[in-house]
Amino acid sequence: MLNMWIVIFIMFLIGNIIFVSKHKHLIIMLLSLEFIVLSIYFLLLLYLSYIEFDMFMLMVFLVFSVCEGALGISILVSMIRTHGNDYFQSFNLL
């Protein structure tokens, strides 16, 4: 049981390291965010099964994570259509 907690924590740390270090491309940032969401999902699954609680909160979490993924993909598509790539250097906020 302790091994699963360590694996989930390592997954979360790896996702954060990739998110911080690979900030040139939007697609890599979105994939690292989805990896972080997946590790949090596993953490909730393990925790809720440990305390023998209802798994309804997992469904709510999945709904929000799917909405977050769809929003990220729509931002990626609109950025590629307007600028031609997913580099943050070509994206000017002014």
Question: What is the predicted pLDDT for the residue at 18?
Answer: 92
Domain that holds residue 43: 2-83
Q: Is the pLDDT of residue 11 over 80?
A: yes
In-domain check, residue 27:
yes
Count of the separate structural domains present in the chain: 1
In-domain check, residue 89:
no
In-domain check, residue 58:
yes
The CATH code of the domain that includes 78 is 1.10.287.3510
Question: What is the predicted pLDDT for the residue at 2?
Answer: 82
Q: What span, in angstroms and rounded, lies between the C-alpha atoms of 22 and 4?
A: 27
Q: Whole-model pTM? A: 0.85
pLDDT tens track for 32-84: 999 999 999 999 999 988 888 888 889 999 999 999 999 999 988 988 888 88
Question: What is the predicted pLDDT for the residue at 94?
Answer: 46
In-domain check, residue 91:
no
In-domain check, residue 9:
yes
Task: Give the per-residue SS3 of 43-75.
Answer: HHHHHHHHCCCCCHHHHHHHHHHHHHHHHHHHH
| Tokens matching residue 14 | 């790896």
